[in-house]
């Protein structure tokens, strides 16, 4: 029997599996670094579904062999990962390959120590993040987006009402001009209708 393709993939798999176990050996417990507590909190608090990609590169979290997961990282990226994981205190610039911009921003803002600590009360994360940072510039603070279960890195995703209010004031000139032009058109139609109907009545 022939299994060339599958055997090949087997070897590749072996290599990645080795790297993965090696990296995990550095830290105790493979599941400990993924924080489902936050996801559960977000889903319960916001009523929206969420997944790991709010903070992680991969939507199924950091464990595994797919892109953006620990199993797929190169030697250099693994080093980066370990450095980032050691950023216990706030204020350190981190570039963790398994985290997205929001994830890295959280670590920089509050430090890994607090990330670990707030697992028991995820709402504290929002408080610690403060109300100023807004990575996607949609006018809704990252902490608010976390609580609302919306994407903090997508400017067209957020609490609909907050987005509407923010965009309304952001585009107020455009809206004012649109209102002006439509207002003029309505006035114009109105006057022309009045003129036409009165002259039609006259004709009768």
Partner 1 sequence: MIDSLLLIALPYVAIVVCIVGSVWRIRTQAFGLSALSSQFLESRKLLWGSLPWHIGIGLILAGHLIALFCPELWRSLLANPTILLVIESAGIGLACLSVVGLMVLFWRRLTSARIQAVTSVMDLVVLTLLLGQIVIGMIVALQYHWGAVWATTTATPYVWSLATLQPDVSFVADLPPLMKAHIVGAWLLILLIPFSRLIHIFTVPLEYLFRPPQKVVWTNPRHHEATAFLSDDEARRDFIKGMAALFVGGALLSVGALDKVFRFFFGPRLSPKEEAEIMGTRVKRLEATANEKKLELERQTSDYIFVAKLSELQAKEGKYFIDFAMCPALAFLDGNNLPNLISAKCTHLGCTVLNQVDSQGRILCPCHLSYFDIATGVPNAGAPAKEPLPHLPWAVMDESGKMVAHKSANGKIIGTAPAGNAESYSVFLAKHLAEESKA
Partner 2 sequence: MSPISGLNDVVAFVSERFPVDKLNFHSMIEKKEVPIHKMTWGYYTGGLALLFLFVQVVTGLFLLFYYQPTVSDANLSVEYITKYVSCGALIRNMHAWSSSLMIFFTVVHLLTTFAMKAFDRPREITWVAGVCLLLITYGFGFTGYLLPWNQIAVNATKVGLQSVELIGTYLPGAIADLPRILKETFQGEASVGQATLGRFYAMHVVLLPLALFAVLGIHLLQVQLHGMSQGIDRAAQKSEKFFPLFILRDLSVWGVAFLILFVLALCLPFDSFVSFPLLEPYNALGATPPGIKPEWYFYFIYYPLELLPFWLILLLSNLLVAGLFLTPWIFRDTSRTTLGFLALLGTLYLIIMTIFGHNIYEIFKGGG
Contact indicator for 37, 120 with CB cutoff of 8 Å: yes
Q: What is the dihedral of CA 91, 96, 98, 104, to 10 degrees?
A: 30
Which of 10, 44, 48, 170 is in the footprint of partner 1 by CB under 8 A? 10
Q: How far is the CB of 165 from partner 1 (least distance, A)?
A: 20
**Taking the CA of residue 178 as centre, how many other CA atoms within 13 Å lie in the half-sphere pointing to its CB?**
6
152-181 binders of partner 1 (CB under 8 A): 173-174, 177-178, 180-181
Contact indicator for 70, 81 with CB cutoff of 8 Å: yes
130-149 binders of partner 2 (CB under 8 A): 149
Examine residue 176 and tell whether it contacts partner 2 (CB under 8 A): no
Examine residue 32 and tell whether it contacts partner 1 (CB under 8 A): no
Examine residue 6 and tell whether it contacts partner 2 (CB under 8 A): no
Which region, judged by CB under 8 A, interacts with partner 1, from 125-133, 141-149, 160-168, 185-193? 185-193
Ramachandran angles phi, psi of 56, nearest 5°: -100, 165
- Sign of the torsion formed by the C-alpha atoms of 165, 166, 171 and 176: positive
Write the Ramachandran bin of 125: left for phi over 0, alpha for psi from -120 to 50, otherwise beta.
alpha
Examine residue 12 and tell whether it contacts partner 2 (CB under 8 A): no
* CA distance linking residue 102 with residue 94, whole number of Å: 11
Binding residues vs partner 2 (CB under 8 A):
48-51, 53-54, 59-60, 149-151, 154-160, 163-164, 167-168, 171, 174-175, 178-179, 182, 185-186, 189-190, 192-193, 196-197, 200
Binding residues vs partner 1 (CB under 8 A):
1-3, 5-7, 9-10, 13, 17, 67, 173-174, 177-178, 180-196, 198-199, 202-203
């Amino acid at each position: 029997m022939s299994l060339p393709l599958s055997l090949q993939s087997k070897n590749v798999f072996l290599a990645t599996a080795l790297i993965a176990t090696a990296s995990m050996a550095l830290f105790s417990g493979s599941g400990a670094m993924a924080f489902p507590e936050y996801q559960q909190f977000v889903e319960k608090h916001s009523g929206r579904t969420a997944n790991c990609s709010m903070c992680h590169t991969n939507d199924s979290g950091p464990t595994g062999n797919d892109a953006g997961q620990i199993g797929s990282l190169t030697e250099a990226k693994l080093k980066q990962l370990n450095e980032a994981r050691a950023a216990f205190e706030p204020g350190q610039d981190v570039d963790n390959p398994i985290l997205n911009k929001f994830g890295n921003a959280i670590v920089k803002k509050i430090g890994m120590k607090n990330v670990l600590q707030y697992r028991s009360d995820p709402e504290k994360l929002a408080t610690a993040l403060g109300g100023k940072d807004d990575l996607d510039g949609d006018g809704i603070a990252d902490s608010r987006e976390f609580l609302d279960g919306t994407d903090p890195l997508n400017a067209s995703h957020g609490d609909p009402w907050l987005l509407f209010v923010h965009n309304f004031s952001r585009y107020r000139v455009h809206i004012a001009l649109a209102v002006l032009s439509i207002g003029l058109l309505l006035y114009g139609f109105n006057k022309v209708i009045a003129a036409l109907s009165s002259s039609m009545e006259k004709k009768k």
